[in-house]
Amino acid sequence: LSPHILHYKKAQERRQFLKYGKHNDYQEELTRRDIAEQAFNAFTEVYEWARKDIVRKAAVKHAVKTVNLSRRLISDAEYEDCKAGLAALEKTPVKTDGTREEQITANSYRASGIGRYKGILKRYAEQKTVPTHPMELHVVAIGDVAFTASHFELYMDYMHRIQARSPFTQTFVAQLTNGSVGYLATERGEWGKGYSASMFCNIVSHKGGQELVEETVKTLKELRV
């Protein structure tokens, strides 16, 4: 989970002021320091009781399979919007005046926008013949603990769905493995149209997200036998 609680900035600033006092450091550095201290304290606390159950020998099983997940399809209207947006950006000249920072900001926005629009147009053409996205799924079982891995940045809901149905005592859901192809939003996320839930961010749809859950749970059960 992101440590930046976007709707709670004032409370986080107050927390850091009370914890560190008046400080001249960059706010982001204080946030990182706070996270590091919390992680250290959590590890120290957990280790005290977790070491009571050290397992010296455990069976290790590893399953790898390619799963084909339903793409997030680009509608005709979205395609037309992207064509128009691309045309407008391509007509926009590269900024050569102003400060160096202003040039970098404007030209970076132009270049990234062109890339995003072209990516959508390419997906629109591909989805007619390739409606699914292939993903290499890894599931590892070590004794009564399991690990699953995908190359998406998952919405938290998918982790809970997998963990709730896993036959293992403890299941870790890893993400962004073997590269990254963006976020995997839920149906509610797509409906909300917020950050990380746009057509630019999602290669796979919420339907594909549930397919990932089903394949992962199926594989976990196969390894549990």
Give the chain's mean pLDDT. 93
Question: What pTM did the predictor assign?
Answer: 0.85
Lookup: tokens for 24: 């001249």
**Unique residue bearing structure tokens 């749970």:** 217
Q: Give CA torsion, residues 141, 142, 144, 150, to 10 deg.
A: -40
Q: Evaluate whether 196 touches 166 at the Cβ level (below 8 Å).
A: no
How much of the chain exceeds pLDDT 90, in percent? 80
Separation between Cα atoms, residue 173 and residue 161, nearest integer Å: 10
Separation between Cα atoms, residue 200 and residue 120, nearest integer Å: 7
Please work out, in degrees rounded to the nearest 5, the angle formed at the alpha carbon of residue 139 by the alpha carbons of 167 and 199: 105
Q: Evaluate whether 127 touches 71 at the Cβ level (below 8 Å).
A: yes
Separation between Cα atoms, residue 157 and residue 160, nearest integer Å: 5
Separation between Cα atoms, residue 162 and residue 96, nearest integer Å: 51
Separation between Cα atoms, residue 81 and residue 116, nearest integer Å: 12
pLDDT tens track for 145-171? 999 999 999 999 999 999 999 999 999
Separation between Cα atoms, residue 176 and residue 174, nearest integer Å: 7
Q: Evaluate whether 151 touches 181 at the Cβ level (below 8 Å).
A: yes
pLDDT tens track for 174-223? 999 988 899 999 999 999 987 899 999 999 999 999 999 999 999 999 99
Separation between Cα atoms, residue 109 and residue 116, nearest integer Å: 10
Q: Evaluate whether 119 touches 200 at the Cβ level (below 8 Å).
A: yes
